[in-house]
Amino acid sequence: MKAGSSANRISPTPSTAHSVPAKRRAKISSPGKKYAAIRRDLERQRKAMVDEVVEGLANPNGQEAFPDVSDQASAEAEQNFSMRIREREQRLIKKIDEALERMDQNTYGICERCEEEIPYPRLKARPVTTLCINCKTLQEQEEKARR
């Protein structure tokens, strides 16, 4: 004869009896949210570049690609070229980091020079820019004058 255990017959206690309405901070429009799409773009671009740089570092001398001794010169030229690319990428990665930092500090999208807000379309086109179009033009004119 089986022992009819009643121990397992625990009545399910409704734990949802006390439903506290979750506090929502809906009305606070965080300025960081404004650039969410740009942030996503920057983060994606940054990751793609970092992956590429890491890949390049993992295989620093693409020897297999240039097995011939006579190709040594072009191999070196190629390496210089990719070094330059890497430098440029690293500079851009740094700029992206700075842009992301500015987003965290809510100073993103503000012109460094005149402290006006940089129009969104410009930011979308050039997310790492720190100057509005007027100041950028001025800066370019100054650079030209210096030459």
Q: Where does this chain touch Zn ion (CB under 5 A) — which range of 9-17, 55-63, 83-91, 113-121?
A: 113-121
Residue from the set 111, 127, 129, 130 that interacts with Zn ion by CB under 5 A: 111
Q: Residue 128: which residues within 8 A CB-CB, separation 6 or more?
A: 42, 92, 95, 96, 98, 99
Say if CB 108 and CB 99 are below 8 A apart. Answer: yes
Residue 143 Cβ vs Zn ion, minimum distance, rounded to whole Å: 16
Say if CB 129 and CB 116 are below 8 A apart. Answer: no
Q: Where does this chain touch Zn ion (CB under 5 A) — which range of 29-37, 87-95, 101-109, 134-142?
A: 134-142
Q: Where does this chain touch Zn ion (CB under 5 A) — which range of 19-27, 44-52, 105-113, 137-145?
A: 105-113
Q: Residue 142: which residues within 8 A CB-CB, separation 6 or more?
A: none
Entry field: residues in the chain? 147
Residue from the set 31, 32, 114, 119 that interacts with Zn ion by CB under 5 A: 114
Binding mask 52-91 for Zn ion (x = CB under 5 A): ----------------------------------------
Structure tokens that stand for 99 in this block: 């842009």
Q: Which is nearer to Zn ion, 103 or 111 (CB)?
A: 111
Say if CB 81 and CB 56 are below 8 A apart. Answer: no
* Number of shown-chain residues binding Zn ion (CB under 5 A): 5
Residue 26 Cβ vs Zn ion, minimum distance, rounded to whole Å: 33
CA–CA dist 61, 72 (Å, integer): 12
Q: What residues line the site for Zn ion (CB under 5 A)?
A: 111, 113-114, 132, 135
